[in-house]
């Protein structure tokens, strides 16, 4: 049996606690791909919307998806810089062959025309 003096044991615990705290402080927070919606123009029966998809990871990504829901009475009538994978009322938009790869910090903007005035909800990158 090994006997460690209390003072030495407490010193080891303090050193261990400081080491763990330093490790936690140096660890970066979790990062993800983000999507930001903007209504760029509007009229009485619809509007144009844009979504900026940004790679906030520290590594490149090779594809992205954005999903959102439009309220009853609103639908996407056209879109650009994206492929519309699912439609009304739950839309999933995915990258095209030319804009799916994003380096860290890089963004791509997609756009769409909505017939109706309801704004998208539950907007998220996948």
pLDDT, one tens digit per residue, over 31-84 is: 588 999 999 999 999 999 999 999 999 999 999 999 999 999 999 999 999 999
Is residue 68 a contact partner of residue 120, using CB atoms and an 8 Å limit?
yes
- What class does CATH assign to 33-125? mainly beta
Per-residue pLDDT of 83-116, as tens digits, reads: 999 888 999 999 999 999 999 999 999 999 999 9
Task: Give the predicted TM-score (pTM) of the model.
Answer: 0.73
> Residue 74, Cβ neighbours under 10 Å: how many?
19
Question: Which position has the higher pLDDT, 17 or 62?
Answer: 62
Q: What is the pLDDT of residue 33?
A: 87
| 14 phi and psi angles, rounded to 5 deg | -65, -45
């Amino acid at each position: 049996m090994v006997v460690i003096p209390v003072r030495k044991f407490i010193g080891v615990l303090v050193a261990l606690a400081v080491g763990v705290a330093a490790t936690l402080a140096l660890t970066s927070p979790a990062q993800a791909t983000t999507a930001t919606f903007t209504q760029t123009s509007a009229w009485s029966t619809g509007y144009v919307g844009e979504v900026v998809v940004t790679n906030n990871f520290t590594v490149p990504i090779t594809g992205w998806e954005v999903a959102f829901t439009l309220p009853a009475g609103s639908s996407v009538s056209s879109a650009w810089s994206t492929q519309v994978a699912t439609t009304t009322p739950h839309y999933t938009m995915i990258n095209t062959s030319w804009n799916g790869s994003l380096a860290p910090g890089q963004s791509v903007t997609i756009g769409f025309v909505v017939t109706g005035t309801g704004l998208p909800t539950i907007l998220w990158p996948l």
